[in-house]
């Protein structure tokens, strides 16, 4: 269908999929690349705003049997698409961003920037009640104007073909609705040409014929309308062996009588673009006992969102044409209350005209309270009753009943919705046995068995996005009430964790009490111990606690125990070793129990072997563990979990900076062993993955009575947080640690907390506050005779004094630090102190003696495997060699330092080293390498979030912003001495 009317929305950046895949920037088409790259872009754009797992992208681009190099090719295409998106940075709010999130890729763009989403928005607005025909026609005309030919033109593969067919149906649906609205708006002639073209492309789509006949009759061309009917009746008889449907026959008869009543447009949804059902066997046709069953329940009022899921269901139906000898099965899974049934019923009602022989529905009560699960025998008997089979003709046994049920469906197009299934065994007898039918199943469990044996398509339903949650409240409560208190609405949506059932219950409570401020409901939800009470709809089916309990009661005893204990975990997610420690079981057993929770959608498996559940399930688990488990059980589980995190953090910290612990750790409880970390990279990766958990553990350990764990975990985090420039977290963790240590009168704990707070203040360039904390820590470490602690504090004080230009004072602290490190027999600490002394001597101009100290520092650093220490020594040697005029050697030392800092994850020091390397290049007449090094350093400071006023970033900005391209800038102030 060709349209001359273009869309009225003018966007700066637009992705076009309804034709060739194109990126338009300011009206100019930007080259995307070869077909595979365009397919990757399309596969991301159809899920704009939602993460698409890499495996899903590979399937969309290369199919179910991808070549060996598919993942590498995907990464290459994504890299080039990311650069393409970067070209839109100047477009402000219209810019595109392609980001990676937990093993998935996400295209950030507004929905109206992607033509298929804009098309659906306009079509959806046209369907809203209360619109005039003129307004409806205008919206649909704009929607149809977005089409520029064959959708996804030039793209091959099964996914592209399926999506193309699904979008064609939506196009036809919109065209029919437009034609109806335009005809009722007194302009029937305008629709005749476009409808004729569409009917040539889709000659078996009856709503198209019906719309064209209405338009021809309204235009005074009734004879042509009757000819159109005769032509389609002949095609249906020849190709499908059927007669026109009842609606089309009514239109024909009305025209023959000389009058035609107005009616609303019939949605096409998924009508005969896929292949029709095979001819019915004569026996089955004769056996059909009654009228077509229509059992679908009422749809959910105000259904919103789920665009990607609905599109996948439409794609599944479209693929039926490729499976003429198989029943199409889709299994929809998701956690309790996420809206699986609402989605299934909503789509089924949209697609019911694709199944003219009926729609069967049954609630299998797979997770109903009281164990009242429906048996397959009860369900199939209900289906036979719905199909009109007389009781006398229903055989006695289940096998015979299933045989009759499948015989009746043979050769027909019937939709079978099996709602709330417990497992695959419950639904297998209820699946149709012949092609032409579709079985749509919902369950809280992922029915992977059906995928393996029956080829079912699996679809997981997740939480609603924040904007979708707000829209749900708008539809239930009205726009005025929702917009009157946006802060309360934002909090309600957030605290309901995107769970539709929870939002619906809150909306119901609010609707029943129109005078109740939404802020009052938000406050109820804010109280974690009352959150589930606030989400009580007054009956078991609408009470979140009851709904969750049905899934919980289906668990085995060990999995149920683990679910309860997970309510003690600080969150937001957990690795398998931590889960095993919490439960006090071996990792292999924990893996089995976690799999059971994942299958029941009480836990979500995330990339890298981590597990999480949303806040409402967490609140439910915490409630259960308090109710069902003794104080001793809870304390023991919490102690094992915190032991695991403490001992692993201590091990990881030792790998980042080898040195003896100021206070030996008490042994971990049985079952709480630390993770095995074999090197610096593993330690770095573990801290990165566990950081949110560890910070939450510091906050929550005091409530469990584990005050020592609080400051010890905070102390183990200090080096990692400092090297990553996370000053806020460093301050927060040690503030809690200091309070916990004071509560127990723990002198060493207080000293460590003061050290951490002093370091945070020091890095924030607040020297007075830093010195206060450092001196208090020095006093406390001295009181207990802790040489290692005193050595580190002297080292901090030395570095801070040097940064203030007090070099002699700094040199004194450095020598004190060396003496205490030697008393503690800390070889790595001695190395750091020697390097620090050398650095200060270099600032005093004694470069030869400085060189000797720094060279002496290298041996113990290498001996202990202290990579970060080696990096700082190389940095010092680079500085000293540069001052001695030995520029080639200086470049070599700085490059070694930069490589080591990068390896250890010390990004701030890496940036500082790059800045110094750039200075040497500039001083020796090499402006291009200088600017390259400064630019790399500046990029690191941006990644660390340093403000422009930060001394390191300010110096880099000055050098890059004011230095001529062919001249060297004045050397910047030397970087601070290593810590």
Q: Is residue 767 part of a domain?
A: no
The pLDDT of residue 796? 94
Same domain, residue pair 207 and 342: no
Same domain, residue pair 179 and 223: no
CA distances from 749 to 710, 717, 919, 970 (A): 9, 14, 42, 45
Domain that holds residue 234: 201-273
Same domain, residue pair 181 and 219: no
Under the banding of pLDDT at 50, 70 and 90, the label for residue 269 is very low
Task: Assign residue 455 the CATH number of its domain.
Answer: 3.40.50.300
Distance CA 651, CA 845 (A): 40
Measuring CA to CA, which residue among 125, 124, 96, 72 is closest to residue 16?
A: 96
Residue 651 pLDDT > 80 = yes
Per the DSSP assignment, residues forming a β-bridge with 639 are none
- What is the 8-class DSSP label of residue 606? E
Residue 540 pLDDT > 60 = no
Q: Is residue 873 part of a domain?
A: no
Q: In the predicted model, what is the mean pLDDT of the chain? A: 84
Q: What is the pLDDT of residues 87-108, one digit of tens each?
A: 887 777 778 889 887 678 899 8
Distance CA 96, CA 107 (A): 7
Contact 145, 5 (CB under 8 A): yes
Distance CA 207, CA 354 (A): 12
- Extract the tokens encoding 496: 């309901």
Q: Which of 238-252, 452-466, 602-616 has the highest mean pLDDT?
A: 452-466
Q: Write out 581-601 in H/E/C secondary structure.
A: HHHCCCHHHHHHHHHHHHHCC
Beta strands, E only, 273-341: 328-333
Under the banding of pLDDT at 50, 70 and 90, the label for residue 325 is low
CA distances from 348 to 171, 296, 360 (A): 19, 8, 10
Q: Does the pTM of the predicted model rise above 0.85?
A: no
Same domain, residue pair 20 and 106: yes
Q: Is residue 522 part of a domain?
A: yes
Q: Is residue 359 part of a domain?
A: yes
The pLDDT of residue 322? 54
Distance CA 800, CA 798 (A): 5
Q: What is the pLDDT of residues 720-745, one digit of tens each?
A: 988 877 888 999 999 999 999 999 99
Write down how long the chain is.
979
Distance CA 166, CA 321 (A): 12
Distance CA 637, CA 568 (A): 8
- Last-in-domain residue among 433, 460, 487: 460
Residue 175 pLDDT > 80 = yes
Contact 715, 748 (CB under 8 A): no
Distance CA 485, CA 508 (A): 17
Q: Write out 831-875 in H/E/C secondary structure.
A: HHHHHHHHHHHHHCCCHHHHHHHHHHHHHHHHHCCCHHHHHHHHH
Q: If you count DSSP H runs as helices and E runs as strands, how many of each does the chain have, helices first?
A: 43, 14
Distance CA 501, CA 112 (A): 28
Q: What is the pLDDT of residues 329-347, one digit of tens each?
A: 999 998 888 889 999 999 9
Under the banding of pLDDT at 50, 70 and 90, the label for residue 776 is very high
The pLDDT of residue 971? 37
Sheet of 328-333: strand order equals 359-363, 415-421, 438-443, 328-333, 457-460
Task: Assign residue 169 the CATH number of its domain.
Answer: 1.10.10.10
- Last-in-domain residue among 156, 187, 218: 187
The pLDDT of residue 245? 77
- What is the 8-class DSSP label of residue 366? T
- What is the 8-class DSSP label of residue 354? G
Same domain, residue pair 380 and 498: no
- Extract the tokens encoding 423: 């497992």
- Local structure of 769: helix, strand or coil: helix
Please spell the DSSP secondary structure of 658-672, one letter per residue: ----SSPPPPPPTT-
Indicate the number of domains in the chain: 4
- What is the 8-class DSSP label of residue 516? S
Q: Is residue 176 part of a domain?
A: yes
Q: Where are the alpha helices (DSSP H) in 70-205?
A: 70-86, 115-127, 133-144, 158-184, 189-201
């Amino acid at each position: 269908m060709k349209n001359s009317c273009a869309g009225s929305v003018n966007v700066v950046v637009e992705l076009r999929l309804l034709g060739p895949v194109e990126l338009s920037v300011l009206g100019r088409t930007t080259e995307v690349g070869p077909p595979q790259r365009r397919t990757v872009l399309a596969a991301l754009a159809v899920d704009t705003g939602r993460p698409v797992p890499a495996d899903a992208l590979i399937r969309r681009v290369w199919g179910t049997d991808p070549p060996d190099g598919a993942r590498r090719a995907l990464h290459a295409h994504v890299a080039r698409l990311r650069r393409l998106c970067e070209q839109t940075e100047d477009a402000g709010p219209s810019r595109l961003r392609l980001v990676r999130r937990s093993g998935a890729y996400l295209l950030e763009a507004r929905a109206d920037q992607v033509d298929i989403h804009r098309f659906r928005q306009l079509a959806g607005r046209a369907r809203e009640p209360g619109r005039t025909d003129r307004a409806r026609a205008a919206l649909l005309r704009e929607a149809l104007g977005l089409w520029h030919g064959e959708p996804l033109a030039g793209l091959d593969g099964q996914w592209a073909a399926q999506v193309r067919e699904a979008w064609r149906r939506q196009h036809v649906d919109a065209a029919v609705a437009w034609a109806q609205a335009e005809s009722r708006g007194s302009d029937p002639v305008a629709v005749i040409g476009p409808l004729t073209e569409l009917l040539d492309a889709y000659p078996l789509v009856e709503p198209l014929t019906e719309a064209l006949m209405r338009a021809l009759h309204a235009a005074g061309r009734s004879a042509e309308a009757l000819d159109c009917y005769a032509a389609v009746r002949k095609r249906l008889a020849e190709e499908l062996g059927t007669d026109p449907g009842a609606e089309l026959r009514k239109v024909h008869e009305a025209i023959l009588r000389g009058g035609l009543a107005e009616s609303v447009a019939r949605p096409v949804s998924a009508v005969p673009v896929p292949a029709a059902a095979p001819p019915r066997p004569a026996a089955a046709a004769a056996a059909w006992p009654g009228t077509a069953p229509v059992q679908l329940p009422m749809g959910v009022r105000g259904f919103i969102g789920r665009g990607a899921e609905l599109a996948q269901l439409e794609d599944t139906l479209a693929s039926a044409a490729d499976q003429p000898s198989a029943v199409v099965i889709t299994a929809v899974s998701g956690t309790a209350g996420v809206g699986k049934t609402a989605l299934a019923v909503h789509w089924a009602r949209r697609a019911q005209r694709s199944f003219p022989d009926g729609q069967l529905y049954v609630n299998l009560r797979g997770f109903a309270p009281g164990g009242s699960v429906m048996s397959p025998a009860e369900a199939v008997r209900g289906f036979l009753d719905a199909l009109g089979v007389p009781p006398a003709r229903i055989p006695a046994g289940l096998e015979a009943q299933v045989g009759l049920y499948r015989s009746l469906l043979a050769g027909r197009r019937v939709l079978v919705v099996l709602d709330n299934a417990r497992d695959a065994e419950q639904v297998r007898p209820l699946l149709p046995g012949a092609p032409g039918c579709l079985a749509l199943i919902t369950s809280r469990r992922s029915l992977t068995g059906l995928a393996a044996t029956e080829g079912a398509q699996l679809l997981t339903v997740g939480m609603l996005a924040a904007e979708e949650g707000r829209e749900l409240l708008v539809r239930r409560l009205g726009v005025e009430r929702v917009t009157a208190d946006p802060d309360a609405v934002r909090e309600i949506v957030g605290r309901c964790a995107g769970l539709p059932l929870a939002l619906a219950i809150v909306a119901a409570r609010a609707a029943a009490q129109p005078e109740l401020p939404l802020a009052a409901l938000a406050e109820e939800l804010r109280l974690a111990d009352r959150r589930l009470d606030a989400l009580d709809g007054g009956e078991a089916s609408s009470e979140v606690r009851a709904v969750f309990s049905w899934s919980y009661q289906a668990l085995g005893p060990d999995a149920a125990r683990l679910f309860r204990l997970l309510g003690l975990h600080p969150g937001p997610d957990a690795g398998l070793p931590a889960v095993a420690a919490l439960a006090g079981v071996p990792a292999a057993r924990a893996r089995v129990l976690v799999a059971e929770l994942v299958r029941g959608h009480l836990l979500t498996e995330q990339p890298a072997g981590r597990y999480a559940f949303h806040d409402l399930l967490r609140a439910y688990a915490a409630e259960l563990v308090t109710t069902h488990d003794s104080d001793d059980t809870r304390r023991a589980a919490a102690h094992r979990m915190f032991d695991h995190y403490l001992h692993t953090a201590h091990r990881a910290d030792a790998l980042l900076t080898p040195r003896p612990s100021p206070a030996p750790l008490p042994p971990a409880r049985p079952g709480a062993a630390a993770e095995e970390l074999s090197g610096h990279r593993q330690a770095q990766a573990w801290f990165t993955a566990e950081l949110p958990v560890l910070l939450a553990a510091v906050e929550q350990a005091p409530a469990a009575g584990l005050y020592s764990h609080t400051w010890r975990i905070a102390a183990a985090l200090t080096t990692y947080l400092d090297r990553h420039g996370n000053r806020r977290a460093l301050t927060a963790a040690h503030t809690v640690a200091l309070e916990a240590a004071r509560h127990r009168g723990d002198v060493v704990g207080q000293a460590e907390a003061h050290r951490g707070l002093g370091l945070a203040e020091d890095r924030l360039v607040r020297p007075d506050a830093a010195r206060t904390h450092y001196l208090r820590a020095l006093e406390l470490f001295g009181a207990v005779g802790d040489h290692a602690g005193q050595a580190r504090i002297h080292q901090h004080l030395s570095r801070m004094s040097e940064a203030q230009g007090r070099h002699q004072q700094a040199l004194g602290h450095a020598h004190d630090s060396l003496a205490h490190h030697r008393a503690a027999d800390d070889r790595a600490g001695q190395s750091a102190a020697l390097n620090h002394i050398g650095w200060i001597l270099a600032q005093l101009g004694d470069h030869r003696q400085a060189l000797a100290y720094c060279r002496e520092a290298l041996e113990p650093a290498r001996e202990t495997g202290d990579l970060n220490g080696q990096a700082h020594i190389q940095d010092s040697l680079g500085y000293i060699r540069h001052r001695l005029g030995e520029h080639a050697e200086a470049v070599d030392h700085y490059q070694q330092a930069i490589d080591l800092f990068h390896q250890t994850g010390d990004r701030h020091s890496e940036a500082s080293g790059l800045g110094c390397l750039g200075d040497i290049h500039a001083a020796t007449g090499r402006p291009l390498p200088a600017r390259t090094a400064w630019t790399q350093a500046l990029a690191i400071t941006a990644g660390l979030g340093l403000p422009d006023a930060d001394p390191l970033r300010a110096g880099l900005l000055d050098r890059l912003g004011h230095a001529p391209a062919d001249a060297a800038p004045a050397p910047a102030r030397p970087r601070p001495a290593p810590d």
